[in-house]
Chain A
Amino acid sequence: MVFVIGASVLKVGDHWEKSLRNLAAEASIAAIRDAGEVDVDYLIVANSLSGVINGQENLGSYIASHLGLIGVPAVKVEAANASGAAAAMLAGSLIRSGEARRILVVGVEKMTDYTSLEDSNTALSTLIDSEYEAFHGATLDSMHALVMRDYMRKYRISREDFSYFPIIMHENAVDTPHAQYRFKVDLNAYITSPLIAEPLSMMDVPGISDGAAALVLSSKDEGPNGNAKIVSSGQATDRISLYNRTSLVEMPSIRMALKRALSRVDDFKPDFYSIEEYSSVSGYIAVEELGLVGRGEAYKLFRDGEARRDGSTPVNPEGGSKARGDPIGATSVYQLAEAYFQLTGRAQGWQVSGARRALVLSIGGLGSNSIVHLMEGA
């Protein structure tokens, strides 16, 4: 069994005065403290863009050095926005195999070292196919825009119908201390938001942010502040290029990852869902792929408030990538840490009442790498 025995999340946002290593260290120290100052025998760094943005690779040794973990095995795991989820999956198997007993998983992304939108877009377009998409000027945003246009056409829904997603996400984030955007937005803010890749607007995607979050995973249920179990995990990939896909409005990797995760448990009914959504439309597709609603009907879940923190099917009680913020390679460590806080009853102000089980879905790239973690309060 794999237990989360401690965690930490830094506020997502602009951390001009801190470097990649400062952020990683701050989150790591806080998580180790939360876990009771335990020793760790393995370090996994989750990150996606350090090579492009910070000119630093070999992050396993780099972060281990700065944490004084000399001699401890360390590695970087990269799977775009799902890097952290992949790191936790790898950590889980190292613990189950007996290779490690306690693992520090730290997710870190330092995006504001690029100060222009052009450069941030360049970095983000390394998450899609570089030679046959990004070379032609396509961006991660524009790929989501193509999906959004196809979704609107197939299901005959309007651009405004996507507004329910950011509206609920921002509403949830108001009470989340570590969220980047703690303010509400409304339909008017959505409609007047500038288009960045038609029909997708600024309000459909996350901002640019720095962040770090960390988890301490253990083979024992030993956390002084309570612990949670990772019950099962599943992962699947899809073709990275949109032109190679048979449907733009489906993300079969989510279905496959879910199926794999569920195949190892008897009956799992989550009390809330954490979904790494890079855009409103991928958020909608995600809840459809998870089977929460029928195809083309995701907007109803958000429009009718069911996805609210106190609704019947809470989705992203902390505000999701849209409003909590999306420091790409760190984001899914945030998801897992947040789920841990929820399941141990420590999500003060943003708690889903009575949360005992969580389904955490992380989506790398444009559905090209999906990971599902099923978690339970211990």
Chain B
Amino acid sequence: MWAYWLSVPSHWREIPARYRLEGGICRSCGHTMLPKEDICPVCGSRDIAVKQLPRRGTVVNYSVIWNAPRGYEYYTPYIIALVRLEDGTMVLSQLTDVTPSEVAEGMEVEMVLRKVRVSGESGIIAYAYKFRPLMRGD
């Protein structure tokens, strides 16, 4: 059994992005991104600054997963979505606090910190962003 289990260092170094949506902005063309890349995928600039990305966005596209990888069985069925944040940044995330039949393209969502995967009995419990329907009146 050589299935991929999440390692502690690999999760630890992604914490700024996974816990609080810390991404990057290209100083040359303004493109925003998550995670922060070393080279802008749009203009090729190497001048990328850290940027706190907005926590709200809309669902652009989604799929309901019935056939999960190891470590995600517990959540099945769960929803994977492409979310466009308020500043235009695209992120891929799970949706939470919503059933598949309630999801729609264009739905407004907000980020919450949730458990994403458990890597076996002795493995780490990894938390990261998920998005839930925006609570009106917040």
* Chain A residues with a Cβ under 8 A of chain B: 51-55, 114, 116-119, 121-123, 125-126, 130-139, 141-142, 145-146, 149-150, 153, 194-200, 239, 241-244, 248
Contacts and interface: CB of A to CB of B under 8 A. Distances in A.
Contact of A136 (B62, B100, B128): B128
21 contacts: A116-B70, A117-B67, A118-B69, A118-B73, A121-B67, A122-B69, A131-B14, A135-B116, A135-B128, A137-B117, A138-B80, A138-B92, A139-B68, A139-B69, A142-B63, A197-B64, A197-B65, A197-B66, A200-B63, A239-B41, A242-B92
Given A137-B80, A243-B91, A198 B63 contact: yes
Given A135-B6, A137-B69, A137-B117, A241 B92 contact: yes
Given A132-B35, A137-B94, A243-B90, A119 B3 contact: yes
A123 B3 CA distance: 7
B3 A197 contact: no
A136 B66 contact: no
Contacts of A196: 65-67
A122 B68 CA distance: 8
Given A118-B70, A139-B69, A146-B82, A126 B4 contact: yes
Contacts of B61: 146, 149-150, 248
B90 to A, nearest CB: 4
Interface in B25-80: 33-35, 41, 61-73, 75, 78, 80
Could you tell me the dominant secondary structure of chain A's interface residues? Answer: helix
Contact of A52 (B2, B68, B91, B93): B2
Contacts of B75: 137
Contacts of B3: 52, 114, 119, 122-123
Contacts of A142: 63, 65, 80
B45 to A, nearest CB: 15
Interface string B106-131: 00000000001100000000101000
6 residue pairs, one from A and one from B, having the closest CB atoms: A145-B63, A196-B67, A121-B69, A198-B64, A243-B90, A122-B69
B63 A243 contact: no
Nearest to A194: B66
A244 B4 contact: no
Given A119-B3, A126-B4, A137 B70 contact: no
B88 to A, nearest CB: 12
Contacts of B34: 132
Nearest to A134: B69
B94 to A, nearest CB: 6
Nearest to A133: B92
A138 B93 CA distance: 8
Nearest to B14: A131
Contacts of B14: 131, 135
B70 A121 contact: yes
A197 B63 contact: yes
B80 A146 contact: yes
Interface string B1-35: 11110100010001000000000000000000111
B30 to A, nearest CB: 16
A121 B35 CA distance: 24
Contact of A121 (B2, B68, B80, B105): B68
A243 B35 CA distance: 11
Given A121-B68, A122-B3, A136-B93, 10 more contacts: A52-B2, A119-B1, A131-B14, A135-B6, A135-B117, A137-B116, A138-B65, A197-B65, A198-B64, A199-B63
Given A135-B6, A135-B117, A195 B64 contact: yes
A119 B64 CA distance: 19
Given A52-B4, A119-B1, A132-B92, A139 B65 contact: yes
Given A146-B63, A239-B41, A136 B80 contact: yes
A193 to B, nearest CB: 12
B67 A139 contact: yes
B134 to A, nearest CB: 20
Contacts of A125: 69
Contacts of A198: 63-64, 66, 100
B100 to A, nearest CB: 7
A143 B14 CA distance: 22
A142 B93 CA distance: 12
B4 A122 contact: yes
A133 B94 CA distance: 10
A137 B94 CA distance: 7
A239 B40 CA distance: 12
Contacts of B90: 243-244
Contacts of B2: 51-55
